[in-house]
Each structure stands twice: as structure tokens, then as C-alpha cells.
Chain A
Amino acid sequence: MDDLAQFKQTFFAECEELLGDLEGHLMALQSGEGDNNTLNAVFRAIHSIKGGAGAFGFDRLVAFAHIFETVLDLMRDGRLEPTPDSVLLVLHCADILSDLVKAAQNGTELPADHENEGRKSLIDLAATVGVNADPHAADDELAALDAQLAAGGPDALMEAAAAPEPAAAPEPAAPAKAPMLKFLVKFTPRDALYQRANEPLILIRELKELGSFLAKADAEGVPPLDQIQPEGAYIKWEFEIETDKGEQAIRDVFEFVIDDCELEVTCLNPPAAAAEAPAQPAADAAAPKPEAVTPAAPKPATPAPAAAKADPHAAGDGATAKPAAAAKPEGGAGGETKAVRSIRVDLDRVDKLVNMVGELVITHAMIAQQTEHLHADQHPELANGLAELSHHIRDLQESVMAMRAQPVKSVFARLPRLVRELAMMTNKKIRLDMSGENTEIDKTVIEQLGDPLTHMIRNSCDHGIENPDDRVAVGKPPEGVIHVSADQRGGRIVIEITDDGRGINREKVMRKAIEKKLVAPDATLSNEEIDNLIFLPGFSTADTVSNISGRGVGMDVVRQNIQSLGGRVHIQSRPGQGSSFILTLPLTLAVLDGMVLKVGIQSYILPLANIVESLRPEPDQINIVANQSELLRIRGEYVPLVYLHRIFKVPGGIDDPTKALVIIVELEDSSKMGLVVDEIIGQQQVVIKSLEENFDPIRGVGAATILGNGRVSLILDVAGIKHIAENESQQRPSPQARLAAPALQASA
């Protein structure tokens, strides 16, 4: 069972890939970029899913895939024209197929009528060109056959019962007490038999296993040596076989060569008519005497029940639909590139590797620290070795991370369709532009990006883009544009979803927020703050909850999802011109480049990605403004100063920035802030250890790590620090840093 589980896992992983590719191909068809290669690829995807599903007995999936495949086969043959309507149907059916795959994977059962509508549409479509894609018709035939067999007696019933068994062995269901019969078999191979690498000796060996056996070779036709063709057929045979396995067993031996030879099978001591009849009713009907089976056309004489038994799919295949396969172009795959060579590795194993590398980073840091006091010139090998080790660890780590990285394409691929469907549902005209699809992010992040992204797109389509009439009225083109882009900036991935719609109606948002008691009625908020109110729990601006955006998930959940990935999301809006959702995500969830800072008795890690520069300011660079906050003037720009020891209430921090250090950090909204710290210890790679498992979220602290000396150090979250600083300056008289205490406890 272990193997089966493993096969299934491979199958579902493959299905996921195939369905993903399918989506891309279908989009190409939809936009008219598809050609016959695309149709071939689509057909192959469905075909592979059906093949695998059959092997695991996912009958419902097989049944639907079969009809689907039939229609696609007609399309690639050119018998069915891929019209916009039919492509739409195919898209819809791909969804259904995906549902069925998911249901099979999760072991859940979909409502019985889930695929009925798509199925009926497919059958109707095939019917327009006179093809019956309905396997039920074939089932009916099978049922009729069963009935016929049932009438034939108990042996026939056994046959019928054996029929649905996949890949049943070709042995005839012999009666319990089969008679010993003697057969004369005349076998004359033709050249073609050898050309297809068949080998009479193997056939003879097989025959021998059926019972007592006598072979006579007739070598009269063998020409003189100099005239012999290596693949010529010169020898013919006569076999006498005594067996209780029946004539069919003999014929089965010749299954692959039947068209490349002359074969006569004669029973030398025919039994009483009844003995063989039940096993082969159709054979008897079509060819009452075995002798009548002409060697040139043995196939039509193949007993029908045996055919059904040897291949249950023959019965499942719409008999009329299949011949179309013969005409399909097979070689037309020239446009595709050679598949990337890859192996499949369980994600857990990669994660384990990531963890090990993390531990390695810490161990290296520890050794480096232990040997710090040694003079490099006294121990050059040690110093060189350590430096090299550090390089190697970094390379190793990047390689491991790259294993987990995937292009965002896989998530983006779903979006065109989503937008198209939403445009249809809302009667709007919306075009989707995408860029940066090849930007790579950690797989975990990708997996969890789908839902939030979908929701933001929904929001843009539903609330952002206006109706065509409204757009024209304000002088915009009737078609709205949503642009989705991904980009790596520094250590983070930035995904932006920008629409050219109406933007956020701040008045309405404010009113709603006050109504829902999310903000005080007399609060004065900046435009940006108002815009971002939509991320508050329980906020929805739609007057009536539409079935597009209002699916019970608010933007607060989007923000939560993104935050749980170590990311952030905010919105920028320009009334009348549109809005942008801006998502920033970490490149990896495991390791980060940090700067170790000393503040009083504590050390902290500041993500390198945030740091712009560090300096020790001159007294004349410091300006104190009205609300007592300090600004650092640097190259004509004013940057607010934030004392880290005040934020975290660390005793012993240096209070005078001209004697301490100021680290200029940049936040995601491009604003800057100067962090005042005592000193910089050095740059170090640190392994991120989540605090969330054991602590409530701590503002200003993103995570923790273990330093080379074995001490726990907190990793700073600059956006959180800015927030604390702003709160403090507002409540200046009582500068109570609410969250400082737990932060300290966590570091202890």
C-alpha cells in the first residue's frame, strides 16, 4: 500500500502541473494565440490525467475526462472548430476536471450532479459533428452484452463479472473442468513479423507452456545462403498441442503477430458442441467452426466478450468517437522546448535541509566568534579556512533556497481567467496586464499567495474599475486596466496590483469607519491612513455585499494572510485615477542578512535590506521641532530620529546622537527614519526563529535568532518601530512604550 500511496502522490502532483499548464494553453486558445500544438498539449494533459486516474480507479474522474478528451480530440482533428463558445466550454470543463481531481485527492465526494452540465454540453458539442461522446451509450451496450451473457449460463456470468476488472489476464475464463483438446496449429510468418522484432522462438516457448507440444518446422523455403535476407521469413511451422486451456489461449499467444502471419488453428478432437460454446458465444455466432476463421482476417472473429474483457476501456470508449484518433497529427510538437530534467523531492526533505543549513550558519558564527581573539597572521590556515567556509555556507544556503524558489507565474497564471470572469459578471470591460511573472519566491509564500491575490483582484474589479458608461463619462477609455507586477527589490519581493478605476472614496470610507466605530468621530486621519482603513476587521464599503468581493472574507483577512508570511500590504489611492495594492514579501522565510547592533546592554538584529547608511551626525545636523521630536538633516533631507533604547526601554543607551550612531533605514512606503544606537557590532547572516509560536505579536520585533555566542537576539521590524515612535510622540507627556516590556522578556 505504501507504493500505491506514493504513486498517488506522484499522480496528484502531476495533475497539478498538468492542470496548471492546461490553464496557460487554454488562455492562449482563448486569446487566439493557440494553434494545433496547443490543442495537442491540451489533449495530452487530459489524456494523462485520465490515464493515471484509471490506474487508481477514480472512475468518476475517468468518465468525465473521457468525454472531455473525445471533444478535444475532435478539436485537434479539425472536426470541431474552436469557437469562442467552445473554448469557453473547455475552460469551464477544465475547472470541473480540476474539482474532480481535488475531490479524488482529498477523498471527498462532490455533489452527484457537479459535472452534469459540463458533461452534457460536451456531449452536445460532439453531437454537432455526429460523434457520440457519451460513454453511457457504451455502458448500455455493455449492459446488453451482460444480459446476453447471463442468458448463456453460469460460465458466461463469470465472464461478465470479470469484464469490468482492469487489465484482466487474457486467459479465457475456462470452465472448472475444461476438456483436454488437441489442436493443430499452422503458423507461417511473413517478413513483417521479423521487421517488428517479433520472434517465433518466443511464441513457440509460450505455446509449449500450454500443454504437451510437438513442433514440426518446414525449412523448405530457406534459400541458399547468399540469397538469405536477414529479416526474411522462410520457415513455417506446424504444432500439435494438447491443452485444456482452449483455442483462445492459443490464439492469444499470437496476439501481436496475427496480422503478420498466416495462422490456422484446428481442433482435432472437437468436443460436444456445448462444452466450448458458453465460453465463446460470439465466436460461435460469427464463425461456427474454428476452421472458418480465415487467417487474413482473424480480428473480426475475435469473440466480443473476450475483447470487452481484455480491455474494459474498449467498452468505456465511445465506439464512434475513437476512430477519430487515427487521423490526428502526432508529430506536430516542434514548437515545444525540451522538458527540463528534474527530480521530484518531498518538500519536507528540502525544509530539513534548509533547517540544517540554518544550524550550520549558527555553528559557523560560533566558531568564528570563538577564534576571534586569535591573530590571523599566527593562524593563517585557520583564518583562511574560516573565510572559505563562510563562502561555502553562503553558496550552499543560496542553492538550498533556490530549490524552494518558484516563479510567481504559477499564481499569476490563474489571474487572467479570474479577471475575465469577473468582467463578465460585473458587465465591465477589464484588461489585465502582467509583468515580472518570472520573479521567484519561496514556495511556501507562493502557495499562500493565491487567496490574498485573488481577493485583491476581486476588490479591484468590483470596487475599483467603473462601468464602461461611467468611465466614458469621466473621459476614460471604456476598458479598465488592472496591472499586476512582481519585482524583487532588495531582500524583498514587491507585488503591485494597480487599477485605473475610481480610487478610494475617502469620504465614504471615513463615514463607514465612524459608523462601525472603527475610528473616533473626531479623529483626523491622513489620506493614506483613511485608505488603509479598508484593512480593518469588519470593514466593507459595498452598499450591498456583492457575490464577488463579499465572500465573507474581508481585506483584513488579506492583510492577516500576508502578515503571516512575513509580508506587508498597503494601498495607495488617487481619487478618480485608481488604486494600487502594494504587497511586500520576504524572499525567504528562513535566513536573513542582518546587522548586529548594540543598544545599552542589549543587542538587536536589523535586517540589512532596510539599511540605507549609518553615520555619526554633527551637532548642527540635529534639529528639534515643535513637538520635541528630533530631525536629522542629511543632504537637504530631514529624517526623524528614533532612539532605540527609548523604544525598548533598555537601560544604559547613549542619549546624544552625536556620540552614538545613527542608522538610516528605509521603510516600504519609502519614508526614512534614523535609528539611534550605541554601536554596530557587525554584519551577520542569521537564522530566523519565529516568536509567534510562543509569544503574542510584539510590535517592533519581527522574530528572533541565536547569535554566535549562543544568546538570543531579537530581529527588529522597522515599520513596527516607526509605529511605536509615532504613538509615543503623540502621547509625549507620558511616553509609555506599551510593548517594550514583553519584547525584553522575549530576549531574556
Chain B
Amino acid sequence: MTKRVLTVDDSKTMLQMLQFALKQGGFEVIQGENGQEGLDLLEANDIDVIITDINMPVMDGITFIKELRKKPKNKAIPVLILTTESSQSKKEEGRSAGATGWIVKPFDPGKLLEVIRKVSP
């Protein structure tokens, strides 16, 4: 079955690049532009993996992860944070919110798929 990835980023460039890479990996892609949209889309779709940016308007990535983890049905969904900020503090913040792993921008498509394999059965 095709796996469905929810990508959440306020940068359309990034969404487009993610989509390109993910489609090559055989994933179906659903896109949201901020955490709130992410939550809405999560509600409406069965999602296998979530990739989210941290810095976003309306609802940032950290809040998004915290919110989604509150629902039992979302507890087992791997969430990867996407950030250019490679510092430990950012990863820690994401992890303490409930992120499963992280992808450091810029990424190449191969690396992205590799990371997804690392968190998704």
C-alpha cells in the first residue's frame, strides 16, 4: 500500500522539493502550510509519516507536534522535524515535544528517503 506523508512547511519551495523527493520514493504526499493546517489534514486523512518545519506562522512545528501527540490515534505516527537549525537545542526541543527524528535542510532526496526508512515500518 502506498504510504502517505504529510509535509508541513510555510515555504512553498520546500513543500515542492519534499513532494518531488517523496514521490520518487513512491510516497503519496499531502501538504499543509502551518501547524494548524497540519492538524486539520491529520484529522481528515490517514497519515503514515509527518515531516514538519519548525518556524511557521499561525502554529509552529513544536506546538503542532505537541498537539498531535495528544490524540491517541496519532501517538504512533513518526514525526520528523525539518530544520536548517542544526543545533542541538532545536533537536532537543523537537524531541521533547514528541518528534521521532529530524531532517537537516538542505537534504538530498536519497537522504530524505533514508531517514524516513529509519522511522517508518
B5 smallest CB distance to A (angstroms): 14
Contact of B121 with A201 in the complex, beta carbons under 8 Å: yes
Per DSSP, chain A at the interface is helix
CA distance A311 to B11 in the complex (A): 21
Chain A residues positioned under 8 Å from B117 (CB to CB): 202, 206
Instruction: Categorize the interface residue count of chain B.
Output: 35 or more
Chain A residues positioned under 8 Å from B108 (CB to CB): 166-167
Chain B residues positioned under 8 Å from A314 (CB to CB): 86-87
A296-330, CB < 8 A from B: 299, 310-311, 313-314, 317, 322-323, 325-326, 330
Q: Mark A670-711, 1 if CB is under 8 A from B, else 0.
A: 000000000000000000000000000000000000000000
Contact of A330 with B99 in the complex, beta carbons under 8 Å: no
Question: Closest residue to A57 on the B side, CB-wise?
Answer: B106
Contacts A10-B12, A55-B106, A197-B78; A326 near B89 (Cβ below 8 A): yes
- A485 is an interface residue with CB less than 8 A from chain B: no
- A47 is an interface residue with CB less than 8 A from chain B: yes
Instruction: Categorize the interface residue count of chain A.
Output: 35 or more
A169-223, CB < 8 A from B: 169, 195-199, 201-203, 206
A696-748, CB < 8 A from B: none
Question: Closest residue to A328 on the B side, CB-wise?
Answer: B55
B19 smallest CB distance to A (angstroms): 10
Chain B residues positioned under 8 Å from A48 (CB to CB): 10-11, 13-14, 55
CA distance A41 to B55 in the complex (A): 9
- B25 is an interface residue with CB less than 8 A from chain A: no
Contact of A313 with B11 in the complex, beta carbons under 8 Å: no
B70-121, CB < 8 A from A: 75-79, 84-90, 92-93, 95, 98-102, 104-108, 110-111, 114, 117-121
Chain B residues positioned under 8 Å from A253 (CB to CB): 118
B16 in complex: contacting residue of A10, A198, A313, A333, CB < 8 Å: A10
A215-251, CB < 8 A from B: 231
Chain A residues positioned under 8 Å from B8 (CB to CB): none
Chain A residues positioned under 8 Å from B121 (CB to CB): 199, 201-202
Name the residue among B34, B59, B106 with the largest chain A CB count within 10 angstroms: B106
Chain A residues positioned under 8 Å from B28 (CB to CB): none
A202 in complex: contacting residue of B102, B114, B120, CB < 8 Å: B120
B11 smallest CB distance to A (angstroms): 5
Contacts A7-B17, A47-B84; A197 near B58 (Cβ below 8 A): no
Question: Closest residue to B97 on the A side, CB-wise?
Answer: A196
- A331 is an interface residue with CB less than 8 A from chain B: yes
CA distance A709 to B98 in the complex (A): 70
Chain B residues positioned under 8 Å from A317 (CB to CB): 85-87
CA distance A333 to B85 in the complex (A): 20
Contacts A7-B17, A199-B119, A256-B119; A330 near B60 (Cβ below 8 A): yes
Q: Mark A541-567, 1 if CB is under 8 A from B, else 0.
A: 000000000000000000000000000
Chain B residues positioned under 8 Å from A3 (CB to CB): 20
Q: Supply 8 further A-B pairs (C-beta < 8 A) apart from A10-B16, A325-B89, A339-B58.
A: A43-B55, A55-B106, A166-B107, A166-B108, A169-B114, A197-B76, A256-B101, A299-B88
21 contacts between A and B (CB under 8 A): A3-B20, A14-B12, A41-B57, A44-B56, A47-B55, A52-B14, A55-B105, A196-B95, A198-B119, A201-B121, A259-B95, A299-B88, A313-B86, A325-B90, A333-B57, A333-B59, A336-B57, A336-B58, A338-B58, A339-B10, A339-B37
